[in-house]
Chains A and B, each alone.
Chain A
Amino acid sequence: MGCVYALVAAGLSLIFGLMELVNFAHGEFLMLAMYVAFFAWSLGGLDPVIAAPLAAAALGAVGWLTYHGLIRRVLAAPMLAQIFATFGLGVFLRNGAQFAFGVDFLTVQEPWLAGRVSLGGLFIGLPQVGASLAALGAFVGLHLFLSRSETGLALTATAQDRQAASLMGIDTERMFALGWVIGGACVGVAGALLTMFFYIYPDVGGPFALLAYVTVALGGFGNVAGTLFAGVVVGLVEALAGLVIPPAFKYSVVFVLYLVVVLWRPQGLFGRF
């Protein structure tokens, strides 16, 4: 699960790194991705694994639309206005989904990856393993893109110093839009993978978004590799805490850990800010 949390958080981290703006609608993006994957399955018979690239493309488009339609106009506005903008978008998407899709809980039946593997007495669900591997794959792809390709390097440059990058001839607006597209795509893949074992309904994004914010803050805003590490840490802590102490408190352990790290190192474990 940690890898999935990390993938959800990656988009968030990228967007913040680029333009210092937290996307409070990220949980709703995840929810939309899950619905896309669900409809790909129910209407087109596509297994979530196949639907993942489709969801990535769809959410990439959503990200691009969000940037051009909403974010561009509030970039220069005070931070409070930016927070309200994305928060409002989130509320709109959540209720829009309820209006459009109803409140029924939807599930994908009989995905390809079903069953479990046993690792020395420890059972792990196969869908979760698949999701983790795919998430890791997406991360590696993202890292390679950011560090090897020219566009990726341009993106990283813009994140590091917007003004210097634009002086170098990099179109910052395009980079921002690209950041939103990639952020959307990441969450798209994560959402599609989640449908293999999670239920889908309009409010489903909430708990995941919360853990994503913790993951980003823990790993460090703007550092994508740090996000992966933090995501895995959060997933492990959640799982282990549930075994060792009463499960009602397992999230408090995650949040306490987060508080400790943030107090000791406010920029997160690997952050730059």
Chain B
Amino acid sequence: MTRRVLLSLAIVLALFRGAAAQPKEVVIGVIYPLSGPAALTGLENKVVNEIARDIANGEVDIPLPFYQRLKGMPGLKGAKVRLIFADHQGKPEVGQAEAERLITQEKVHATYGSWHSSVTATVSQVAERYGIPHVNGQSSSPGLTKRGFKWFFRTSPHDEHFTQTMFDFFRDFQKKKGITLKTLGITYEDTLFGADSGKVMRELAKKYNYEVVVDMQYRARATSLQAEVQRLKAANPDVWMPTSYHTDAILFVRHSKELDFNPKMIMAQNAGHLAPDFVTAVGKEAEGTMSRAPFNTDLIDKRPAAKAVAAVYKQRHGKDFYDNPARSFTGMMTLLDAINRAGSTDPEAIRKALVATSIPGDQLVMTWDGIKFDETGQNIHVKGIIIQLQGLKWHTVYPFDVATTDVLYPIPAWKDRK
């Protein structure tokens, strides 16, 4: 009899403790390419996400109100943030499997990732199915926020924003310099990122009356892109607009040199062109390449948060803070802030907190106006800029009022270069 009383007492106590106990930790599943052709980016993102985690856990101090507010996660009475990293290798089906594993077995409270738009699509689908919030900081395919998802949030601009910035630049640049750009050559790799980027470029080209003389989809992991470059050379567009990942970006530049392809203007869709290895490998040959970006290293001085984070990043990773880790950092901080405001690890609470997000621009590392999500989960306060590679460094060239240097145009032909 006594034993039974004691047993039931123990059970009641255990249940009571369980109900009243605050979560001891916040677990977030982070899915990135840690091997394969985009492993470089995955690694950078890992470093910067760990910095974000350390800010939340109070180990790194950023002296701005937004970061101080969530230092030590007061909303959750000091629960520790733990990140579980998973490698999707650049494959959507692996991303999907990893997301399932993280949600069902590791019981993560939220997911984050995944760079490749094609993988973000499947990972966020899994999250949506299980009712787990997913925040994305970098994938730029516009379609990701057009699926009517409740649990998907994207902090960074997508390719409709970016491509619009490109065409705004074309318009303002032609006016400023009094030159005419008529023909465009668009090339894009054949996954979701490239395909959607190509689509938006086509639509905007039509809207603004540019003639698309080359419209070419190609395989990113080709062993040779010579045929592709020969086509571009034959068509000779005024502006070449590549949408590439790392491997193809490098190959294109090399083949352009070999085959004497001399576009007067190159406007890239970020990704592979922004990787630090692109500059190391073909930086000299790629002089004059322009790209859209949400952020650039030379704007770090305009944001105190950027300066602080860049210092930690350089110390931990040895390379300069730039666009991609900056975006990843911003997304992760937004998620951590939402969890802190939610005061709980309950998915619905986090989701509501994300919906209510309102972060002023001056607290970010990005030169955006802020972070506020619309009903599709897209941040509406984003801003894009155009940067150009000059002297092995990326310089902001547009909008003209924040430009740090003049546009180099036309790009000198191979025979005129030293």
- Residues of A participating in the B interface, judged by any CB pair closer than 8 Å: 1, 5, 95, 98, 103-107, 115-116, 123-128, 197-199, 201-203, 206-208, 211, 238-243, 246-248, 250-251
Contact = CB atoms under 8 A, between A and B. Distances in A.
Contacts of B216: 246-248
A98 B42 CA distance: 13
A127 B258 contact: yes
A3 to B, nearest CB: 13
A170 B36 CA distance: 44
B217 A98 contact: no
B311 interface: no
B277 A105 contact: yes
Interface string B246-261: 1100110011001110
Contact of B222 (A104, A128, A207): A207
B260 A247 contact: no
A208 B222 CA distance: 9
B223 A207 contact: yes
A141 B319 CA distance: 46
A114 B221 CA distance: 23
Contacts of B228: 242, 247
Contacts of B280: 104-105, 107
Nearest to A122: B230
Contacts of B250: 105, 107, 199
B223 A199 contact: no
12 contacts: A95-B35, A116-B258, A116-B259, A128-B258, A199-B251, A207-B222, A207-B223, A242-B228, A243-B227, A243-B231, A248-B218, A248-B219
B223 A1 contact: yes
A41 B278 CA distance: 19
Rank and list the top 6 A-B pairs by shortest CB-CB distance, nearest first. Answer: A242-B227, A125-B258, A103-B39, A107-B281, A248-B217, A105-B277
Contact of A247 (B227, B255, B258, B277): B227
Contact of B281 (A1, A5, A199): A199
Given A98-B39, A199-B281, A105 B259 contact: no
A107 B282 contact: yes
Given A103-B35, A105-B281, A206-B221, A243 B258 contact: no
B259 A123 contact: yes
Contacts of A197: 254, 258
B190 interface: yes
B349 interface: no
Contact of A251 (B39, B219, B247): B219
A239 B224 contact: yes
B365 to A, nearest CB: 24
B43 interface: yes
Looking at B217, B219, B225, which has the most chain A CB atoms within 10 Å of its CB?
Answer: B219
* Interface-central residue, A127, A202, A246, A248, by most chain B CB under 10 Å: A248
A242 B231 CA distance: 9
Interface string B94-130: 0000000000000000000000000000000000000
Given A1-B224, A199-B250, A238-B224, A247 B259 contact: no
B247 A247 contact: no
Contacts of A199: 247, 250-251, 281
Contact of B259 (A104, A125, A241, A243): A125
B255 to A, nearest CB: 7
Given A123-B259, A248-B190, A239 B39 contact: no
Interface hub of B43, B216, B223, B228 (most chain A Cβ within 10 A): B223
A42 B223 CA distance: 23
A239 B43 CA distance: 35
B40 interface: yes
Most chain B beta carbons < 10 A, residue from A1, A98, A105, A202? A105
B260 A116 contact: yes
A107 B35 CA distance: 19
A239 B226 contact: yes
Which of B221, B247, B258 has the largest number of chain A CB atoms within 10 A?
B258
A213 B194 CA distance: 28
A103 B217 contact: no
A103 B40 contact: yes
Contacts of B275: 105
A208 B221 CA distance: 10
A214 to B, nearest CB: 12
Contacts of B40: 103-105
Nearest to A104: B277
B334 to A, nearest CB: 27
B37 interface: yes
Nearest to A118: B260
A244 to B, nearest CB: 9
A211 B251 CA distance: 18
Contacts of A241: 227
Given A197-B258, A248-B217, A105 B246 contact: yes
B219 A247 contact: yes
Contacts of A208: 223
Contacts of B255: 125
Contacts of B281: 105-107, 199
Contacts of A201: 37
A248 B39 CA distance: 23
Contact of B36 (A106, A126, A203, A250): A203
B217 A246 contact: yes
Contacts of B230: 123, 242-243
Nearest to B246: A105
A118 B227 CA distance: 16
Contacts of B282: 107
A198 B248 CA distance: 10
Given A103-B35, A105-B281, A247-B225, 7 more contacts: A104-B277, A106-B281, A125-B226, A125-B255, A199-B281, A247-B219, A247-B227
A83 B226 CA distance: 34
